[in-house]
Amino acid sequence: MPKSPKRILAARILAVMADAVQIGILPLFAPGAASPVNDVLDIFVGIALILLVGWHWVFVPTFLAELVPGLDLVPTWTAAVFFATRSGATATATATIDPALPAAVGSPGALSNRPRVPSTSGGRAADGGKEGSG
């Protein structure tokens, strides 16, 4: 699934809002009472981010960090989304391949048909440095 600029923006907004709720609102409640709400929020955010920008390995340590008490006070979702989408929207790439290249590389004599390159052994030729004389 290509990452469109709209999906990246939506994922970044969702991550910032989730971290703002976890840092600003949920700590106001008792840690034990808000914990299930916090966990449900993390599960929702993780699934939503994967649906928006696709799977990225950085979501795994982020989700695990969110489960550790106290670490959810760090904007981990925001950092993860910005890391996962740092290259921006992906454009559809088209590769141009020279039609002669696969045939030349795959043929048995491909290396022996190369043009000869003059030796660069200190400017001396094989005939004792008297190249071109006589």
What is the band of 134 on the pLDDT scale with cuts at 50, 70, 90?
low
Distance, CA of 128 to chain centre: 56
Rounded to whole angstroms, the Cα distance separating 101 from 14 reads 47
What is the band of 87 on the pLDDT scale with cuts at 50, 70, 90?
confident
Q: Report domain extents, the chain.
A: 5-84
pLDDT at 95: 44
pLDDT for 132 beyond 90: no
Rounded to whole angstroms, the Cα distance separating 132 from 124 reads 12
DSSP 25: I
pLDDT at 93: 39
Rounded to whole angstroms, the Cα distance separating 6 from 8 reads 5
42-56: buried (b, 16+ CB within 10 Å) or exposed (e) per residue?
beebbeebeebbbee
Rounded to whole angstroms, the Cα distance separating 56 from 46 reads 11
Q: What is the pTM of this model?
A: 0.60
* Cα distances (Å, whole numbers) of residue 31 to 16, 21, 28: 21, 14, 8
